[in-house]
Amino acid sequence: MQNLEELLEELLLELKIDLPKERRDRVIKDIQAWLYPSLQAKGRVLTEDGTFTLVSDEYGEPYHSVYAGALTECLEKFIKPSRVLDWAKNLQELRVLDVGFGLGYNLSVLIVQLREKYPNLRIKAISLEKRLQKDIPLLPGKYGEIQKLLLENLPSFEADCISWRLLLGDARESIKDLSGFGFHLVLHDPFSPYKNPELWSYHFLQKIKESMHEEGTWISYSASLPVRKALKELGFYLEGTNPVGRKKGGTLARLKGKDLLPDDELRKLDTSPYAVPFLDPDLKDSPLRILVRYRLHVEVRCL
Ligand code: SAM
């Protein structure tokens, strides 16, 4: 990885920004804090609801919220607030984009919940994942049965009204082939924005938008300002989702409808210096470059 100080110098020149030393130091300190592991644990960990998750060495983050519980997070931060179990009644086929397949929890839970309510609904799912883990823990009961089926049939599975494909590699590349796919639901679940910024940039979210159905729903656990700002600039209408296991809730975004965020949260998107999207115009910048560029944009807005 390129050294943070060197990258900062390079971007200061590129963006033609002049900053005194104490402000450069502040930028570096912030970025170091963002990159600091959020959990000091390794391997498999037990979460609050009794289900297991893994901790990523690369990102220093668990795959699921330890405080909310892994299974609870899938249900309460993704499936329920997306309201897919209501609106899927109008569909013969539901197309789902699963960004960050990880351990396959979100997708397995979604499939089980949909199959119980709509046994004849065709489910067409595509998952994007950079690197598959070994020794993936299985969810309990019916969720684990579907998860096992997916994991045993990698990278694709077709049976019983379910068609699933895993596209292995950088999601920024895979998404380029999915334009016009018409996804009704996007489960957006990378690691957190400041650790995994390449999957939260304006330009990646723009590709996601191009892959969505005009009535589609995008949902994520994050309420982060750069992410919400990017979605807003892309023309999405935003809604907050309830907090589970932490203070902040997540975000639901749709291309039709109206903004349902509380006034103070909407106002923040206009006034906070942090409300500026992550940029990755060629969809190939390093995560660190995306972060430094973002932090410099914030610094300029504070001048
Ligand atoms: N949704 C998963 C589940 O329910 O088990 C958990 C996903 S985990 C929080 C985030 C995932 O995003 C990781 O598996 C990670 O490898 C993947 N990821 C991060 N950056 C990526 C990239 N550039 N391209 C594809 N996948 C990426």
State the distance from the centre of ligand 1 to the C-alpha of 133, rounded, in angstroms. Answer: 10
DSSP code, position 79: I
Query: How far, in Å, CA of 199 to CA of 192, rounded?
Result: 9
**CA dihedral over 36, 196, 15, 268, signed as positive or negative:** negative
> Does the structure show a pLDDT above 80 at 2?
no
> Does the structure show a pLDDT above 80 at 144?
yes
Name residues whose C-beta falls within 8 Å of residue 172's C-beta, 6 or more positions apart in sequence: 198, 199, 204, 207, 280, 283, 284
Model confidence pLDDT, tens digit, residues 13-46: 999 999 999 999 999 999 999 999 888 888 999 9
Cβ–Cβ < 8 Å for 41, 61: no
More confident residue, 89 or 245: 89
CB 287 less than 6 A from any atom of ligand 1: no
pLDDT value, residue 39: 84
State the distance from the centre of ligand 1 to the C-alpha of 188, rounded, in angstroms. Answer: 9
Residue nearest (by alpha carbon) to ligand 1 atom 11: 100
DSSP code, position 58: T
State the distance from the centre of ligand 1 to the C-alpha of 99, rounded, in angstroms. Answer: 7
State the distance from the centre of ligand 1 to the C-alpha of 69, rounded, in angstroms. Answer: 17
Query: How far, in Å, CA of 70 to CA of 284, rounded?
Result: 31
| Phi, psi of 62, rounded to the nearest 5 degrees | -75, 155
Task: Determine the average pLDDT of the residues in 85-102.
Answer: 98
Query: How far, in Å, CA of 81 to CA of 223, rounded?
Result: 14
Task: Determine the average pLDDT of the residues in 96-118.
Answer: 98
> Does the structure show a pLDDT above 60 at 100?
yes
CB 198 less than 6 A from any atom of ligand 1: yes
Tokens 């975000």 correspond to 251
- Counting residues of the chain whose pLDDT is more than 90, the rounded percentage is 94
Query: How far, in Å, CA of 165 to CA of 96, rounded?
Result: 11
| Phi, psi of 52, rounded to the nearest 5 degrees | -100, 155
> Does the structure show a pLDDT above 80 at 1?
no
More confident residue, 166 or 303: 166
Name residues whose C-beta falls within 8 Å of residue 38's C-beta, 6 or more positions apart in sequence: 60, 61, 62, 192, 195
Query: How far, in Å, CA of 139 to CA of 146, rounded?
Result: 9
CATH of 37-272 given 3.30.930.10, 3.30.70.1400, 3.40.50.620, 3.40.50.150: 3.40.50.150
Task: Determine the average pLDDT of the residues in 288-301.
Answer: 96
Q: Helices marked H in 67-165 — which ranges?
A: 70-73, 80-82, 84-87, 105-117, 141-152
Per the structure block, which two tokens stand in for 269? 């998107």
Model confidence pLDDT, tens digit, residues 175-205: 999 999 999 999 999 999 999 999 999 999 9
- Under the banding of pLDDT at 50, 70 and 90, the label for residue 218 is very high
pLDDT value, residue 120: 96
CB 252 less than 6 A from any atom of ligand 1: no
**CA dihedral over 277, 278, 280, 284, signed as positive or negative:** negative
CB 71 less than 6 A from any atom of ligand 1: no
Task: Determine the average pLDDT of the residues in 156-185.
Answer: 97
Q: What does DSSP say about strands 251-254 and 212-220: parallel, antiparallel, or unpaired?
A: antiparallel
Task: Determine the average pLDDT of the residues in 282-301.
Answer: 96
State the distance from the centre of ligand 1 to the C-alpha of 100, rounded, in angstroms. Answer: 3
Query: How far, in Å, CA of 126 to CA of 299, rounded?
Result: 38
pLDDT value, residue 261: 96
Tell me the pLDDT of the chain averaged across its residues: 96
Cβ–Cβ < 8 Å for 219, 184: no
Instruction: State CA 132 to chain mean position distance.
Output: 17
